[in-house]
């Protein structure tokens, strides 16, 4: 997982928590408040580890500490701006207009966040290896999408039902990729001879900070889904 994903989850949770407050939906508020807290913890952990890695002379593969920090600050600023916009609409226009706009924004955030794993579909099909997809995460996300779709239908809320229906289809596609190609360990062999120098150590230390536990990854992923 990258800092972009965690920031997307944080943004998504905050937008939907605002929506839940406007339509007075306790499940939406509770789930997204918890999801936002988990996302914030993951962001802080990512930044801490990134700073330690760079201080030790190692190079991050997908980002830098400075870029990750700027992305986090931009996300926080965006959340504040959206909150101010919603408050202005509620006070100077109407609660209905505010909730409608909030629902539309939440739908876009959710679909955008879920579509990010689909960006790997091309590589998966090309390599015929779905190792990058976690079965537990995909299965749990599918159940999560279906349940929230049903919740939206029962409430007759298109802003909840429609995005989650699209997310369910995307999850089904990920399941198809897993069943079609399976997960095979990447064939990577590293041969070192003699004593490694500093350059070699820095090169080998390139790392992608990915959560080792699928359960933790799902907690962040599922909690950040649109509620």
Sheet strands (E) in the chain: none
Which neighbouring-strand residues pair with 60? 207
The secondary structure of 28-42 as a DSSP string is: HHHHHHHHHHHHHHH
Q: pLDDT at position 123, please? A: 77
Domain boundaries, given as residue ranges, for the chain: 3-186+198-223
CA distances for 19 relative to 104, 112, 157, 177, angstroms: 10, 17, 12, 33
CA distances for 159 relative to 91, 118, 152, angstroms: 22, 22, 8
Name the token pair of 170. Answer: 């995307």
Q: pLDDT at position 225, please? A: 53
Q: pLDDT at position 139, please? A: 87
Categorise residue 130: left if φ over 0, alpha if ψ from -120 to 50, beta otherwise. Answer: alpha
Q: pLDDT at position 214, please? A: 44
pLDDT in tens, 19-73: 999 998 899 999 999 999 999 999 999 999 989 988 888 877 667 888 989 999 9
pLDDT under 50 in the chain at which residues? 188-222
């Amino acid at each position: 997982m990258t800092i972009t994903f965690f920031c997307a989850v944080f943004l998504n949770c905050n937008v939907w928590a605002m929506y839940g407050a406007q339509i007075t939906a306790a499940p939406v508020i509770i789930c997204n408040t918890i999801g936002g807290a988990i996302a914030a913890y993951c962001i802080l952990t990512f930044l801490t580890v990134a700073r330690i890695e760079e201080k030790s002379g190692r190079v991050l593969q997908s980002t830098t500490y400075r870029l990750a920090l700027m992305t986090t600050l931009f996300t926080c600023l965006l959340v504040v701006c959206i909150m101010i916009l919603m408050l202005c609409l509620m006070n100077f226009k109407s609660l209905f207009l505010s909730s409608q706009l909030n629902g539309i924004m939440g739908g876009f955030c959710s679909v955008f966040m879920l579509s990010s794993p689909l960006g790997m579909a091309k590589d998966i099909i090309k390599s015929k290896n779905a190792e990058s997809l976690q079965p537990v995460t995909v299965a749990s996300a599918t159940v999560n999408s279906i349940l929230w779709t049903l919740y939206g239908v029962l409430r007759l809320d298109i802003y909840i039902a429609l995005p989650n229906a699209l997310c369910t289809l995307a999850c089904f596609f990920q399941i198809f990729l897993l069943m079609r190609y399976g997960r095979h360990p990447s064939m990577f062999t590293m041969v070192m001879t003699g004593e490694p120098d500093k350059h070699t150590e820095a090169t080998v230390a390139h790392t992608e900070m990915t959560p080792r536990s699928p359960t933790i990854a799902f907690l962040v992923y599922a909690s950040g889904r649109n509620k």
